[in-house]
Amino acid sequence: GGFDPTTQKAVWPSTGNYCRGGAYDAALLGCESVAILPQEMSRERFDWLKKIGSEIIATPGCESNVKEIYDKCWELKKERGDKVVILNQFDEFGNCMWHYAVTASAIDEVLRSQLGPKDHLFAYISATGSAGTIGAGDRLKELYPHMKVVASEALQCPTLYNNGYGAHRIEGIGDKHIPWIHNVKNTDVVTAIDDEACMHVMRLFNEDAGKTYLSELGVNKDVIERLSLMGISGIGNMLSAVKTAKHFELTERDVLFTIFTDSMEMYGSRLDEERARLGAYSHEKAAVDWNRHLAGFGTDHLQELTYADRKRIHNLKYFTWVEQQGKDVAELNAQWYDREYFPNHLRRADEYDRMIAEFNKEVGL
């Protein structure tokens, strides 16, 4: 009941993927939308939003410039008042609740069909982003209590890893702040992935010379043809899984689960930029990239979190959400000290389903 599609515009603040989904939903519902995203995101994202008919606002900076997105939301609210409704994925518990209920259930279904009698789920790996997808880890820990949740971020913007900041090229994973909805107490490991590694693996997986080299290594042709299903952040998640497996010296019985969060559909222009920056891709470059960024990928920039580490990361929320966005410090403390805080927010899917069913009945659907 907080949004009237006949009189209001839905505002979707994002680093690119969430605003695409929001604009698409708005188009399906026949209402107007505003997509807010950094100006340095891939050209394909802006082209797609133009086709869907959304109003587009490009904010300064790149993937990690989330504060500028928030600033634009406040500006819009001040200028347009109740003509807009801000739907902020970074503090909207419906975001992680959906992944808790749906994504985790899908992962559990896959695991039950694939795990052997001696296999076990060692870890679930996800980029932090808006803390939606990583929220599936809360449910998975209930189902597989001994597993770990691994949070992945860019080495160039290591916010969780060491309170760092900076620009990076792993599009779609946010950074430079801790989302309000991130249950930091449930995060066990942090990995920081070099965006340069992601860009090199992107070329290995998508350039003809790279595919030929992989074929020579014995990689199945069907697998090679499907590598384009991994975009830059999907590659980042994969590299985080490799780093985790090597650090913990895992065996074939230790299962890691991660998500390929995007495909190359949005990154053709990034391939063109890499060709312009580094030249044509060759068999020799493919060999270097394979051995350096996959076979030889190291265990550096990985941290197993202690209680104090988790508390340090959680405390970073104060500066973004209490000082800048006006959240209540008492609620921030409740997130840390009240054991029922996150379960009460995440276990509401049945309640939402009932409300949706009642709404559909009321409007005759």
Q: Which amino acid is at 166?
A: G
Q: Which amino acid is at 251?
A: T
pLDDT digits (tens, 9 = 90+) for 220-256: 999 999 999 999 999 999 999 999 999 999 999 999 9
Final residue before a domain boundary, out of 67, 88, 109: 88
Which tops the pLDDT comparison, 41 or 251?
A: 251
Is the pLDDT at 339 greater than 90, yes or no?
yes
Q: Do 111 and 173 belong together in one domain?
A: yes
Q: Which two tokens mark 339?
A: 């054991």
Is the pLDDT at 158 greater than 80, yes or no?
yes
Which residues have CB under 8 Å from 190's CB, separation 6+? 150, 151, 152, 153, 160, 161, 302, 303, 305, 313
Helix (H/G/I), strand (E/B), else coil: 342: helix
Q: Do 171 and 136 belong together in one domain?
A: yes
Query: Which is it for the CA torsion 327, 339, 186, 124, positive or negative?
Result: negative
Is the pLDDT at 275 greater than 70, yes or no?
yes
Tell me which H or E stretch contains 154. strand 148-154
pLDDT at 222: 97
d(CA 216, CA 214): 5
Which of 129, 61, 139 minimizes the C-alpha distance to 100?
139
Of 57-66, 135-144, 179-188, 304-313, give the lowest mean pLDDT range. Answer: 57-66
pLDDT at 350: 93
Residue 53 sits in a domain of what CATH number?
Answer: 3.40.50.1100
Burial class (CB in 10 A: 0-12, 13-18, 19+), 145: exposed
Is the pLDDT at 67 greater than 80, yes or no?
yes
Q: Do 63 and 114 belong together in one domain?
A: no
Q: Do 21 and 142 belong together in one domain?
A: no
Q: Which amino acid is at 215?
A: S
pLDDT digits (tens, 9 = 90+) for 110-141: 999 999 999 999 999 999 999 999 999 999 99
pLDDT at 62: 85
Q: Which two tokens mark 98?
A: 């959906």
pLDDT at 268: 93
pLDDT at 96: 96
Length reported for the chain: 365
Burial class (CB in 10 A: 0-12, 13-18, 19+), 52: middle
Q: Do 298 and 186 belong together in one domain?
A: yes
Is the pLDDT at 307 greater than 90, yes or no?
yes
Mean pLDDT of 162-167: 93
- pTM across the whole model: 0.92
Q: Do 19 and 136 belong together in one domain?
A: no
Q: Do 283 and 244 belong together in one domain?
A: yes
Q: Is residue 318 part of a domain?
A: no
Final residue before a domain boundary, out of 49, 70, 88: 88
**Domain range for residue 72?**
9-88
Mean pLDDT of 16-27: 87
pLDDT at 175: 73
pLDDT at 1: 62
Mean pLDDT in the chain? 94
Q: Do 81 and 105 belong together in one domain?
A: no
Is the pLDDT at 359 greater than 90, yes or no?
no
Tally of domains in the chain: 2
Q: Do 155 and 261 belong together in one domain?
A: yes
**Which range, 141-150, 163-172, 260-269, is most confident?**
141-150
Is the pLDDT at 2 greater than 80, yes or no?
no
Which residues have CB under 8 Å from 215's CB, separation 6+? 221, 224
Q: Is residue 45 part of a domain?
A: yes
pLDDT at 365: 64
Query: Which is it for the CA torsion 123, 129, 135, 136, positive or negative?
Result: negative
Is the pLDDT at 5 greater than 90, yes or no?
no
Q: How far apart are the first and last CA of the chain?
A: 17
Please state, for a pLDDT cut of 70, what percent of the chain lies above it: 99
Q: Is residue 320 part of a domain?
A: no
Mean pLDDT of 58-81: 90
Final residue before a domain boundary, out of 287, 304, 321: 304
Q: Do 43 and 188 belong together in one domain?
A: no
Q: Is residue 201 part of a domain?
A: yes
φ/ψ (deg, to 5) at 349: -60, -40
